Amino acid sequence: MMMNFAYLFATVGLIQGLKFMGDPARAKTGNMLAAASVVLALVAVVVATGWAGSTHVLLLVGLLTVGTLIGKTWSSRVAMTAMPQLVSIFNALGGACAVVLSLNEVYGAGTPVDNKLLGGVLILTALFGGTAFTGSMVAYLKLDGRKLPRPAQIHKVLARLLLAVLAAIVAYYFAMPTDASTYPTVLLAIAIAALAYGIFLTLPIGGADMPVLISLLNALTGVATLMAGLLFHDPVMIIGGILVGATGILLTLQMCTAMNRSLGGVLAGKIISAKSTQSEVEQDIRSITAVETASLLAFSKQVAVVPGYGMAVSQAQRECFALQEMLKGTSVDLHFIIHPVAGRMPGHMNVLLAEANIPYESVLEMTAVNDTMEHYDTVLVIGANDVVNPAAENDAESPIYGMPIIRAYKAKQVVVMKRSMAKGYSGVVNTLFDRQNCKVLFGDAKESLAAIITELKRI
């Protein structure tokens, strides 16, 4: 009975912790609450299995200590620009654990699998875990700029072939009579095919689809955790897996909608490339200085900032906070408008802004302001490119046509901060620069914002 209460408290704590993580002001509390709930669940498992006082406890405590030290050191040292890579690696480790658990149950513990229920759970654990492991590792390498084979049609063909093989093996297992002697071979074949599938599933997917990919792989790890929970009859793992899997799938669908991409297209590694003529278009770029931008802001009443990966690269979020505080003193309202796929992972920009203590109420979703963008006197676009490109709305031949964007072009004046005229991840020319109300402030975003703030102090 006490163990059931412990599982109940751990489950409620985990759910509440995840709920807190949705609010930047309580995210740290939510993280600690979820971690404490997992520890409580582990203690309950130790007591329920009779491990208390055995060498298993020493091994468990030792591994937890080592893992905690590695995780703490790693996460403390990683730059915010590399946070998507860190998330990918952590997700990969979760998938790897699922594969090891399923294989260990058969090859290590020697459990005879003589019924479809147990066998099916082990197969799905290996399938989802293996795909999440290698897929997340390839995603990490892509995000980290490592050399990988260029996306090619052969990768898509191999991915589809492996998916067909996996489906055939699973169908064969459930259709044929149970044979405990051949099951280990079936499970190993599933694990190997899933590991290979994760690689070829991810290789063709371009950088613009990284938020979708990370969210999808996270959902697969959640499903693998759910299967592992069923295997070990652990209610906390089951509920945690359901929550992670369900939220990951919902977020994946939201990401696809935000990019006007079908989930099937992403899974198939559909490669979108710009027409060659687009890369040759010459644009009449109107530049602006930091002094002129400061003057523009000083005479504005409504200002919006659209952050992108460029803000993460330059680590300019604290300067954004300083700019907001300064403009607040002159009765200027400043909002931060977030596109769902800005950055390299879901919520990347929100994390950066929360790190700089920017009030959550001033951070707005794209859908909340898109119909009233003309009310903004000035919009600062910091490193974002594709998510403000008007071609998505008015150029039917553009590869990003139909993708919902932030309608920055409707503002009275737009200032885009860029290091150079390099294109975004889609490789599409940004027609925003052709608009008469758009000017470009060249330079590092952090340095440019610092110069703007200095000039505003003089005005």
**Both structure tokens of 297:** 């802001």
Q: Taking Cα atoms as reference points, which of 366, 389, 420, 435 lies closest to residue 274?
A: 389
Tokens of 343: 């950055």
Looking at residue 377, the DSSP 8-state letter turns out to be S
Q: Is 395 a catalytic residue?
A: no
Do residues 258 and 409 lie in contact, with contact meaning Cβ atoms separated by under 8 Å? no
Question: What does the alpha-carbon distance between residue 346 and residue 280 come to, in Å, rounded to a whole number?
Answer: 32
Q: Is 255 in contact with 267 (CB distance < 8 Å)?
A: no
- CA–CA separation, 16 and 218 (whole Å): 20
d(CA 381, CA 385): 8
CB contact set of 33 (below 8 Å; sequence gap of 6+): 13, 16, 17, 20
What is the distance of C-alpha 68 from the center of its chain? 22
Strands 378-382 and 438-442: unpaired
Rounded Cα gap, residues 296 and 30, in angstroms: 41
Q: Tokens representing 295? A: 């003057």
Whose structure tokens read 């295997």?
A: 231
φ, ψ dihedrals at 116, nearest 5°: -65, -30
Phi-psi bin for 61: left (phi > 0), alpha (psi -120 to 50), beta? alpha
SS3 for 437-453, per residue?
CEEEEECCHHHHHHHHH
DSSP category for residue 383: B
Q: How are strands ordered across the β-sheet holding 378-382?
A: 363-365, 333-338, 302-307, 378-382, 413-418, 438-442
Report the alpha-carbon angle 233-28-93, nearest 5: 45
Q: Which of 371, 386, 434, 444 is catalytic?
A: 386
Closest CA to 99 of 277, 231, 286: 231
What's the distance, CA 450 to chain centroid? 29
What is the C-alpha to C-alpha distance for residues 252 and 218, in angstroms, rounded to an integer?
Answer: 9
Q: Among the residues of 260-308, which ranges form H helices? A: 263-267, 276-279, 290-298
Q: Which residue numbers are catalytic? A: 386
